[in-house]
Structures are given as structure tokens and as C-alpha cells.
Amino acid sequence: MDDIFDVMIIGAGAAGLTAGIYSSRARHSTLILNEGAIGGQMVLTDEIANYPGVENTQGYSLANTMKKQAKEFGCKIKSNIQIKEYQLEGKVKKVSLHDGREFSAKTVILAPGGKPRSLDIPGEDQFKGKGISYCATCDGDFFTGKEIAVIGGGNSALEEAVSLTKYAEKVTIIHQFDHFQAFEHAIREAKNHPRIKFIMESELRAFEGDTGLQKIQVEHLPSGNISEINVEGAFVFIGYMPNTKAFKDLVTLNSRDEIIVDEDKNTSTRGVFAAGDCIPKKYRQVTTAVADGTIAALSASAYLRDL
Amino acid sequence: MKLLQTNLQEVETAAELDKMIKENDNVMVCCGRMGPMCIPVYDIMEELEDERSKVKFAVMAFDSPEAGIIRDAKECRSFMGLPFTMYYKNGVVTAATSSIQNRSQVMSIIDEKLCN
Ligand SMILES: Cc1cc2nc3c(=O)[nH]c(=O)nc-3n(C[C@H](O)[C@H](O)[C@H](O)COP(=O)(O)OP(=O)(O)OC[C@H]3O[C@@H](n4cnc5c(N)ncnc54)[C@H](O)[C@@H]3O)c2cc1C
């Protein structure tokens, strides 16, 4: 056993880092364990223009400031780790990592956020970075003058499709339903664009090519007909899902796999709290994640006082 | 001029990269921007600097004209996603990847192709 902390936080996105700031500032020994890059979805966001008090900033920059703030209050952060096992019952909670290290704490805050849904179809791994992309601002310019597809029908898919017309000759949006789940202005802008075409009620079945992506197989759902479309690029924006698989048997989840919490962010397990995109809510934003992280940390603090 | 805000050594010219490859047996260079697909890879490299001391880790700005040495390399011909990451063993390219990679993907290339 390496250490026993007052508070252990799982996830270093906006919610986890905020909880880390509040908890370490309250002089609780605090550890954040994070599986990916520090900042979570914030580092996937090129520009954040709606975080109050901070004019237009890049996501990585906001994440870096939060990390710095947490560290300055004494919070320990370990990123790119892999957790093997959780024991969340009882007065001392324990986490074991794949590399054999173990950490314990009196209370745990779960802030694992969400991850992009992938299509899980043949060719997706093979052509990632060779035609398949998940970030228009990163990779758009590789597709200058080319024909590409955008998969999805939410705000991200429609907004990114419009922004990709800066580069691509033709953009085909492929969506599984007969209507979009996006803001009216985003739908209007995409529909009015002369170089955007739509294939509705259809799903991708495979990516094909040799050294790079050359075509996609698309199934028209009502008829079951499969057609091939020649594209050199495919941008996938099919939404996010909560990262809660690891907690399925440890705390109660709802039918959408979100961790159920009360207004103080208590989960069904005593001494375990949850915050951010992993809990049920209508609006998933940095501001709402930060608010959840604050409440979870203050509730954890109250729990420690009552121990 | 340095263009990437990381704690890794930034290679600014093709000549500098050439020298680094000649002077070090094992080199990993990540060529990218300060974007969402690149930052996680820089993050992993910063951590591995302590754990894999036999490997020289560096970054290079994708938009610098000098980065043509990586952008135009034959190993990157089919690449269409940032970052372009190159692994050099004894002066030659032993692996190259396009787009974001996770820690275990980076570690397995380092362990299989560089520190073998
Ligand atoms: C492309 C994009 C653009 C966006 N734009 C904006 C915007 O402009 N403004 C805005 O307010 N919001 C925006 N959002 C939404 C906002 O980024 C998220 O709502 C918010 O960052 C969620 O924070 P979080 O801490 O709950 O989760 P996340 O950011 O998902 O962080 C969770 C962290 O936990 C880690 N983790 C997951 N599982 C485990 C585990 N088992 N063990 C350890 N660690 C784990 C993950 O690797 C990650 O680092 C955007 C999101 C995306 C994807």
C-alpha cells in the first residue's frame, strides 16, 4: 500500500480537477488518478468561449490552469494510469493499478466523464489517421479538395460538417434517423450549404481502402440496401457516453449508465460521490462539471468531518 | 522559435533532428500542433521521459517549414491525422504512427521497436 489519502478522485477532467482544487485547499490530502490525458474533454476542445471570466481560450490552456491550481494547493495527480480494481465499500476505499500500486482513501469522488462513441465497424482501427478522424480542427486541412463523409446528426456533426467545407470539395452527412438532434440554426446552416449532401436513415457498415481510406459501405435502414460511397475522409461525431462501466457493480447506475446521485452528489455507496458528465443531467458543459466537482468536494469534506 | 508549449525538447530545424537521430540510438519525435489529438501524446511522452531513460523524446511543430523532414517522409505518405509520430532506431525509422495514440500503444512501440 503506497499511501492513505483523505480524498481520492477518479478522473482529471473539469469535474475532477475542480474537486481536487476544493479538497486540497481545505487541507485534505488529495490524490487524483486519471486514465487519460489531464483535462479530459477540455483538451479535445479547440476553443472554449463560454467559460465565465475567461475570454476565448483553448481547451488545453484552461485544463493546464486548473491542473496548476490543484497542484499548488498540494493535490497529487497521477495521469495515464490504468486501474485494475476498486473496493469502494467500508471506511477505507482502495484502488489497485495494473502496475501493482495500491492507493487508499477515506472518501472517493468519481469523475470519469464521458468518451466519444466509436462505430466499432470493420476498418475503423485500420484507417484511423489514414482517412478516419474525430477532430475537424486538427485534421481538416488534410482533406483539401477531397470528398469526405461526416457521420452523425447532432450539433457537433452539423457544425463540423459546415466547418469542413473550408477544405473539402464535397461533404456527405450520414445520419441514422430521418431528422437531426441539433439546434435549429445548426441544421439550417448545414442544409443551406451548397456543398453538403445528406444521406438519412442510414448507418455505416465498413471502411475500406488500401494504404488510406477509399470508400465506405452504407446501409439504408428501411430497405436494408447497402451502397458504396467513394470518400477519402470520414469524420465521426456520434456523441458521448458515460465512462462508468468500471463502476457498474459498485454504485447504482440508471438505464443510460449514468451514476445516480442526490443533490449533494452522494452515490448509493456511503462515502462515494460523483460529479461531471458521468451523472444524469441535461446540459454537459465545463461550467456544469465544475459546479458538480465543487459540490462533491464540499460534501466529501463534510463526510470527513463526521467520520 | 519554439511553437509548442510542452515540457519536452522542441526540435526546430531538420539539421537539429538529424543530429539528434545520429547522437541517440533511440528517438521518438512527435510532430504536431497544440491540438486535441496531439496534446495527449505529448502528455504521455512527458511521463515516459522518466520511465524510459534509453529513449530521447522530442517534439517538432508541424507547421514549421523545417518539419518537412517528417511531413514528407515516405513513412508518412498515407498519413492524414495529427500528430505524425516517428520512432528512430540507430538512425533509421523503425515505426511511424498517425493521429492520437494511447499510452499502451506508445509503450508497445517503444518496447518492441526501440528498447528491444
Ligand atoms: C469536442 C467537444 C467540444 C466541447 N465544447 C465545449 C465548450 O465549448 N464549452 C463547454 O462548456 N463545454 C464543452 N464541451 C463539454 C465539456 O468539455 C464537458 O462537459 C466537460 O469537460 C466534462 O468534464 P468531466 O470532468 O465531467 O469529464 P471529462 O472531461 O470526460 O474527464 C474525465 C476524465 O476521467 C478520466 N477517466 C475516465 N475513466 C476513468 C477511470 N476509470 N479511471 C481514471 N480516470 C478515468 C478520463 O480519461 C478523463 O481524463 C465540449 C466537449 C467536446 C467533446
CB of residue A12 inside a 6 A radius of ligand 1:
yes
B78 touches chain A (CB under 8 A): yes
What mean pLDDT comes out for the span A169-193? 96
Mean pLDDT of chain B: 94
* Residue B80: pLDDT over 80: yes
B79 vs A129: CB contact, 8 Å cut-off? yes
* Residue A85: pLDDT over 90: yes
For residue A236, give Cα distances in angstroms to A10, A134, A155, A197.
27, 5, 12, 16
CB of residue A276 inside a 6 A radius of ligand 1:
yes
Q: The C-alpha cell of A145 is what?
A: 479538395
- The band of B7, judged by pLDDT with boundaries at 50, 70 and 90, is confident
CB of residue A40 inside a 6 A radius of ligand 1:
yes
Q: In chain A, where are the structural domains located?
A: 4-115+240-306, 118-236
Question: Domain tally for chain B?
Answer: 1
Confirm whether B3 is domain-assigned. Answer: no
- The band of B53, judged by pLDDT with boundaries at 50, 70 and 90, is very high
CA dihedral B16, B17, B23, B27 (to 10 degrees): 150
Confirm whether B54 is domain-assigned. Answer: yes
Residues A137, B37 contacting (CB under 8 angstroms)? no
A129 vs B39: CB contact, 8 Å cut-off? no
- The band of A37, judged by pLDDT with boundaries at 50, 70 and 90, is confident
* Residue B19: pLDDT over 70: yes
Q: Which residues contact B105 (CB under 8 A, 6 or more apart)?
A: B97
* Residue A28: pLDDT over 60: yes
Specify the CATH class of A118-236 in words: alpha beta
What mean pLDDT comes out for the span A236-261? 95
* Residue A259: pLDDT over 80: yes
What mean pLDDT comes out for the span A175-179? 97
Q: What percent of chain B has pLDDT over 90?
A: 79
Q: What percent of chain A has pLDDT over 90?
A: 81
> Is the pLDDT higher at A302 or at B34?
A302
**Residue A194: other Cβ atoms inside 10 A:** 7
Confirm whether B52 is domain-assigned. Answer: yes
User: Among residues 20-49 of chain B, which lie with CB inside 8 Å of chain A?
Assistant: 33-40, 43-44, 47
Query: Whose Cα sits closest to atom 31 in ligand 1?
Result: A13
d(CA A244, CA A161): 30
* pTM of the complete model: 0.81
Mean pLDDT of chain A: 94
Instruction: Give how far A301 is from chain B: nearest CA, Å.
Output: 31
Q: The C-alpha cell of A215 is what?
A: 470508400
Pick A4-115+240-306's CATH classification: 3.40.50.2300, 3.50.50.60, 2.40.340.10, 3.50.30.60.
3.50.50.60
Active-site residue flag, A278: no
Residue A2: predicted pLDDT: 52
CATH code of the domain in which B25 resides: 3.40.30.10
What mean pLDDT comes out for the span A270-290? 95
Beta strands in chain A (DSSP E): 3-10, 30-33, 76-78, 83-87, 93-97, 102-110, 114-116, 132-133, 147-151, 170-174, 196-199, 202-209, 213-220, 226-230, 233-236, 240-242, 272-274
What mean pLDDT comes out for the span A258-281? 98
For residue A25, give Cα distances in angstroms to A28, A74, A93, A297, B77.
7, 8, 22, 10, 50
What mean pLDDT comes out for the span B81-94? 96
Residue A51: predicted pLDDT: 94
A43 vs B99: CB contact, 8 Å cut-off? no
> Is the pLDDT higher at A246 or at B103?
A246
d(CA A23, CA A26): 5
Residues of B with Cβ-Cβ distance to A80 under 8 angstroms: 43-44, 47, 103
> Is the pLDDT higher at A202 or at A61?
A202
Determine the residue among A98, A138, A167, A236 to mutate to test chain B binding: the one whose Cβ has the most chain B Cβ atoms within 10 Å.
Answer: A138
CB contacts < 8 A, A to B, total: 76
Q: Which structural domain, as residue segments, surrounds residue B105? A: 9-114
* Residue A65: pLDDT over 60: yes
> Is the pLDDT higher at B35 or at A216?
A216
In chain A, alpha helices (H): 14-25, 59-72, 124-127, 136-139, 155-164, 184-191, 286-306
* Residue A60: pLDDT over 80: yes
Cell 458521468 maps to which residue?
A: A278
* Residue B94: pLDDT over 80: yes
Confirm whether B1 is domain-assigned. Answer: no
